[in-house]
Amino acid sequence: MEQIELNVEIRTTKGSGAVSRMRRNGTIPAIIYGEGTTPQTVQLAEKDFDRVLRQHEASSAIYHIQVLEGGKKQQDLIALLKDTQYDPVSDRVAHLDFMHISMDKEISIKVPIVLKGTAIGLKKEGSTLEHMLRELEVICLPKDIPSQINVDVTNVDTHVSIHVRDLVLGTAVRT
């Protein structure tokens, strides 16, 4: 499980005009909610989050967020990235939603499914491999979240299916 350090600043300005200026100046507005906290509006530097996107597989990573106010640390939170909104024209990140979690309570999270290998059935003329399920919702403690679920398809022939019940997830993860 990937763990990412991220610093955010408490956002004092509100309204669409202020948020638009913030985005023009290279800052992403965000919100942190969930697990025993009141929702907090925050902001972070776009360049910091771009670095995170380039270096980490952020879909199921745990974020250690330091909430700052005036450069002074106010609190530490552990969170998951629940939603990323993009600007439809520039494709830049427009808003982030973080969900505060507890490390000792199970959570439900979607994990990507990745096919490994080349199926033997694909060597037959006219055959195709249908990848029906792209992600799987699993239940586990945050420390046990897999970054992805690998499915070996090398021995899959035509008219053969792999079901969720056939996947090996480990003892700490369940569907």
pLDDT at 97: 92
For residue 56, what pLDDT band results from cuts at 50, 70 and 90?
Answer: low
Q: How confident is the model at residue 1 (pLDDT cuts 50, 70, 90)?
A: low
At residue 75, what is the residue type? Q
Neighbouring residues of 100: CB distance < 8 A, sequence distance ≥ 6: 32, 33, 34, 35, 36, 37, 77, 78, 79
pTM reported for the whole predicted model: 0.76
Q: What is the pLDDT of residues 126-152, one digit of tens each?
A: 888 888 888 889 999 888 888 888 888
Which tens digits make up the pLDDT trace of 75-112?
888 888 888 899 899 888 889 999 998 888 998 888 88
